[in-house]
Amino acid sequence: MDLSKVKSELFIASMLEATKKNTGIDGKAYGLPHVWGTDGLVVNSKLAKNVNDYSDLCGAALAGKVSYRLKRPVLIAFAFSMGADPFAAYGDKAKYAALMEDVGAKLTECKKNVKTYWEGSDALLNLVRSGEVAAAMAWDFGGWKLNNDMPEVNFVAPKSGALGWIDTFALPAKGRNDEAAYKWVNFVMQPQIAAKITAAAGNFTASKGSDQFVSAKLKQQFSASFPQSALDNIKWYPPVPAGLEDIEGKILERIKAAKSG
């Protein structure tokens, strides 16, 4: 990407830097951030008190009232909440495997709190609506969707950082009109235009200030979930090195097979 042709001031700085880093090769960036979302906590404040991080889902008061997907994001999330940086260990398989063992032990211990491991989004939303689940690890827009009908439920960016994914802009190597592509990027990243994309797609973009142009309700939900400090603390997923998913898969299977405490 020719960054001189991009209006960098239109982007949320932390997201732009994270994408430049994660798409970088030999000092050159091959992507720019566009649509993004996060995994974090969906909490019913009437039923779950003091749930501010992933590890809080394991508190004694939440026995049988918690849900999350038994997939790799929960391993990453709990690693961060335990004070480790799993992404920093990506380059060392032995170190990563040891970290995942610790996380696996924590999640096995936490199993007594799990009502069910959710698979589909509708199932989770219904569990929260019914009050069967008081707190869950889930995505931001799901929390905001619930908040529309249940003011006591909202998405909470965890203290150790929400886990973020970004869909990026990229240019084909043999593109025929790169100038038009850069003009398009600069156009859609304007806050007012980006807000229209959010309204249509259901996810925010990396456009700085676009939250000021969405609906009043979504603006309030976003600002409550993501003050600037939480926005800057999002842990963006880097590319996964080969072999790590095998390590994670074995840990997840072991957790699944373990008896509840």
According to DSSP, the β-strands at 32-44 and 163-169 are antiparallel
Closest CA to 46 of 160, 122, 153: 153
For residue 252, give both structure tokens: 């997840």
For residue 131, give both structure tokens: 């009050």
CB atoms within 10 A of CB 102: 14
The string of pLDDT tens digits covering residues 108-133 is 999 999 999 999 889 999 999 999 99
Give pLDDT, residue 123.
93
With 80 as the cut, is the pLDDT of residue 2 above it?
A: yes
pLDDT band at 175 (very low <50, low <70, confident <90, very high): confident
| Class in CATH terms, 3-36+164-232 | alpha beta
- Taking domain 38-162+239-257, whether its CATH number is 3.40.50.920 is answered by no
pTM listed for this prediction: 0.89
By mean pLDDT, which of 11-20, 53-62, 80-89 is the weakest? 11-20
Sign of CA dihedral 241, 242, 243, 245: positive
The string of pLDDT tens digits covering residues 180-205 is 999 999 999 999 999 999 999 888 99
Sign of CA dihedral 158, 161, 165, 169: positive
Are 81 and 54 spatial neighbours (Cβ–Cβ below 8 Å)?
yes
Give pLDDT, residue 106.
97
pLDDT band at 246 (very low <50, low <70, confident <90, very high): very high
β partners of residue 155 = 42
Give pLDDT, residue 261.
59
Give pLDDT, residue 159.
97
3 state SS for 92-153: CHHHHHHHHHHHHHHHHHHHHHEEECCCCHHHHHHHHHHCCCCEEEEEHHHHHHHHCCCCCE
β partners of residue 225 = none
Alpha helices in 174-243 (DSSP H): 178-188, 191-201, 216-225, 228-232
The string of pLDDT tens digits covering residues 25-41 is 998 999 999 999 999 99
Instruction: Pinpoint the residues of the chain covered by CATH 3.40.190.10.
Output: 3-36+164-232, 38-162+239-257
According to DSSP, the β-strands at 235-236 and 163-169 are parallel
For residue 117, give both structure tokens: 């491991």
Give pLDDT, residue 197.
96
